[in-house]
Chain A
């Protein structure tokens, strides 16, 4: 069954959607079959959320309102999981975040 979902989430992690957070973010995105995309503005450009090269290129620092959208199997589950990861600061404690 095909579905689509979309959400926005504020990046609160100190260094934003960068090296280590991007690794986690793309790994999680890849665990879903749906097509998942991210953008730093509502009108795009949209990047493939499963490509770390593209996600890094979005250059999303702390304070960015990240747009996430998905299309396909379990689309809303994928969006929810990614929003949750960002809200949990990518599961990094402050100490770990220092060198991210």
Chain B
């Protein structure tokens, strides 16, 4: 059985499963409040000394994270509510957990991505003390294990011996977490967002952190195929590194632009701008986390990426909610969400929300080379309406004397109507082919349905022919055409994409080197 997730650190791991969420041994409560207080003090002290011991061998980011955890543990403000509850007759473990959970809730509720990610640090701090309280030493995981669970703490990651391989498979998790960053730095394969899978797993598993998936109870055939992908990946990765810092050219010497796709302003922190040609797709759904983001939050997020990119282009996509990306307070419940109110359709329905994003984009545009694109455009009217809203908000900002500038406005090519009749869109500034959605709509095969995965091939002649038509139309009318779907970073798909005439791809940052290496093999 294969479960799909999101790759957070590319690579392959094959090994026994190990449960990260195994409940710690039970704490035996003491007979008096004074003893409970002493037990908690001892446990906090024990956790601090364990962390201090780990700092000795850690360096850089890892040491900084540990130092932060120690500082938090040594701050009386963190434990004060727990000690107060013990005074009110609570057991040390219950009191500590409640105090920390209250603190964690505050971080979880933050509208800032960075701050939300710190909730994982707080959980880590909580669990270290709980483990120390119950005298539950670290259970020994088999070497090369695949650690699975809801989420994983940075210190837990650092405690694990990765020298014999292994990987991380998380039901939740985030590609922006400290652990994901550590995993990428250490080259530990990691997949997040696997969703619900059977709770008590055991036995062997195959972790594919290149595409984002895990195979449970693999068959001999699955193991064979996995090992082939794994060794091919290792070989490609080794060979690809030398391509990272060079501009991408094909075997015939044709230059190809390679940009990156990002989902989070902090994604750019780990990327050297000189290794790519800009941002081909910045998603904005992430900003619409638990609450709708205000104009300032959005402006700061866009500005950060624009300033990072300097004079290279940054293409920001207006919010693409709906489909498989529901957002509380924004999207609507539908029986067929992929064919319903999503992307620009939703933005045009909820103009109050859309206008906030438009103002943030217009204001951020002065900080770099911004381009804006609309997702899920099906008709020229949708484009005109969206462009008109930009003009209205621009007039408003001008009237109020707020600094701003109008970016070029382009569209995603993902609804087949656009690819079949691109001539209706001769007035857009650029086209960006969203190969994932274009493929699912051409093949009538939902992206999130594993039963029809075999139909979802970007290399089907019908899909490639549509892309070719868009590229040709773009050339005739001098409208730039790029591609920002997953296919752009897939070495197996790159030859076919370049044959359609595409010369501008946008890929996940982790795939940059591999994509450039694959391009160098193509004879066009």
Contact = CB atoms under 8 A, between A and B. Distances in A.
Given A18-B114, A61-B112, A99 B181 contact: yes
A88 interface: no
Interface string A48-66: 1001111011010111000
Given A59-B115, A62-B300, A99-B269, A20 B68 contact: yes
B112 A56 contact: no
Contact of A98 (B76, B118, B270): B270
B478 interface: no
A18 B118 contact: yes
B77 A51 contact: yes
A18 B117 CA distance: 11
B106 interface: yes
Contact of A19 (B76, B110, B121): B121
Contacts of A15: 114, 266
B304 interface: yes
A7 B518 CA distance: 56
A16 B115 CA distance: 10
A17 B447 CA distance: 40
B-side interface mostly: helix
A15 B178 CA distance: 14
Interface in A75-100: 97-100
Contacts of B64: 19-20, 23, 99-100
A75 B110 CA distance: 32
Nearest to A54: B77
Interface residues of A, number: 25
Contacts of B492: none
Interface in B270-307: 270, 300, 304
A73 to B, nearest CB: 21
Contacts of B300: 61-63
A94 B248 CA distance: 27
A53 B75 contact: yes
Contacts of B496: none
Nearest to B76: A51
Contact of A56 (B61, B65, B118, B266): B118
Give the one of A57, A98, A99 with max B CB within 10 A: A99
B77 A19 contact: no
Interface residues of B, number: 26
A14 interface: yes
A26 B78 CA distance: 14
Interface string A8-32: 0000001110111011001100000
Interface in B17-32: none
Interface string B119-144: 00100000000000000000000000
B71 interface: yes
B222 interface: no
A63 B115 CA distance: 15
B51 interface: no
A51 B61 CA distance: 22
B72 interface: yes
A21 to B, nearest CB: 10
B77 A14 contact: no
Given A23-B67, A23-B68, A53 B115 contact: no
Interface in B343-395: none
A61 B296 CA distance: 11
Contacts of B77: 48, 51, 53-54
Nearest to B266: A15
Interface in B39-70: 61, 64-65, 67-68
Given A59-B112, A99-B181, A52 B118 contact: no
A98 B112 contact: no
A65 to B, nearest CB: 13
B103 interface: yes
Contacts of A48: 77
Contacts of A26: 71, 75
Task: Please list the 3 inter-chain residue pairs (A to B) with the smallest Cβ-Cβ separation, ordered nearest first.
Answer: A98-B269, A53-B77, A51-B77
Interface of A: 14-16, 18-20, 22-23, 26-27, 48, 51-54, 56-57, 59, 61-63, 97-100
Interface of B: 61, 64-65, 67-68, 71-72, 75-78, 103, 106, 110, 112, 114-115, 118, 121, 178, 181, 266, 269-270, 300, 304
Given A19-B121, A62-B300, 11 more contacts: A18-B118, A19-B118, A22-B71, A52-B68, A53-B78, A56-B118, A59-B110, A61-B114, A61-B300, A99-B269, A99-B270
